Amino acid sequence: MSSPRSGRRRRGGVAWLYLAPAAAFYLAFVIYPYVNSLWYSFFEWNGVGLATWVGLDNYVRVFTEPEQFAALFNAVLLIFFFTVLPITFGLVLAAVFARRRHSWGAVRAIVFLPQIVPLVAVGVAWRWIYSEDGLVNQALETVGLGEFARAWLGDYNWAFPAVGLVGTWVSTGLCLVLLLSGIQKIDPGLYEAVRLDGGGAIREFFTVTLPQLRGEIAVAATLTVISALASFDVVYIMTRGGPGTQTMVPGVEIYNQAFTNGRVGQASALAIVLSLMVYLVVILINGLAREKK
C-alpha cells in the first residue's frame, strides 16, 4: 500500500509535467532573450562583427544622447494619454452606463471596438485621418475653421498630442469594460444608504463607486501604463518618431539603434532601461493599490 507522501509526490510530478511546456516556452522566448540583451548591453556591437566590451557606457548614453533621452521622456508623457485620460473617461462612462444597463449596449460595443482592431491598422487609419486631406481637416473646413487645418503629424507642436489621442481612443474601451464590470459587483445597498442620507449621483460616485473600484483602477492603470511605455506599432506607422524626435518612443528608438544604426549593444541597453521602468511603475501602482486597501 502506497503512503500518502508518495501519492503527493506523484501528483506533484504530474503537475510539473503539465507546467513543463509553458516553462520551456517562457525560458526560451522571455528569460533567454532578456539575459542575452542584458549581456549585449555591455558591448559595442553591430550584430555581425566582433563585440567590444564598453562596460556601462551604453547605459550612460541612454541618458546623455538626446534621441534616447527624448524617447524615454516621451514615453512617460504618453502615460497621460494612454492611462490618465482613458481611466477618467472610462470612470465617467461606466458610471453613466451602470445607471441604464439596457440602453447602452451598442455604445459600449463601439467604445470597446478599438481593442480588437490590430494596432498596425489603427496606425494606418489615423495617419490618413490626420493627413492634409484627411477627416480632421475636412471637418474643420466644413464648420468654417479651415484656417486651423494643418499636416497634424508633421507639425512640431501637434504631432505628439495627435499620436497620444490615438492611444486614448484605443485604451478607453479597455478601461470602460474593466471599470463597468467592477461597478456591477458593488453592493446596491451602499448606493441606497447614500440616497437615504440625501446624497445624489455625484456623492454616490465619490463615496461609493470610486473607493470600491480601486482594484479595477489598479489593473487598468497597470495595463495602460505598460502600453504607453512599450508603444511601438502606432507610433512607427504614423510618424516613425518624427518630426525630429517629437514623437520618438523607446520602441522605435530601439529599432533604429539596432537595425538602422547597427548599434545592437546600445539598443539592448535602452531595452533593459525600458523594462526596468515598466517593472518599477507596475510595482508602484500595485503598492499604492494595496496601501489604499
C-beta separation of 269 from 62 below 8 A: yes
Q: Residue 6: what pLDDT?
A: 56
Q: Which residue has the cell 548599434?
A: 263
| Contacts (Cβ under 8 Å, ≥6 apart) of 126 | 166, 234, 238
Q: Residue 19: what pLDDT?
A: 86
Q: What are phi and psi of 69, to 5 degrees?
A: -65, -40
Single pTM value for the model:
0.88
Q: Residue 204: what pLDDT?
A: 84
Secondary structure letter of residue 53 according to DSSP: E
Output the tens digit of pLDDT for each of the chain's 293 residues: 455 555 566 666 677 888 888 889 999 999 999 999 999 999 999 988 899 999 999 999 999 999 999 999 999 999 999 999 999 999 998 888 877 666 667 777 888 888 889 999 999 999 999 999 999 999 999 999 989 999 999 999 999 999 999 999 999 999 999 999 999 888 888 888 888 888 787 888 888 888 899 999 999 999 999 999 999 999 999 999 999 999 999 999 999 999 999 999 999 999 999 999 999 998 998 888 776 55
C-beta separation of 136 from 158 below 8 A: no
Residue type, 177: V
- Domains delineated in the chain: 57-292 (1.10.3720.10)
Q: Residue 98: what pLDDT?
A: 79
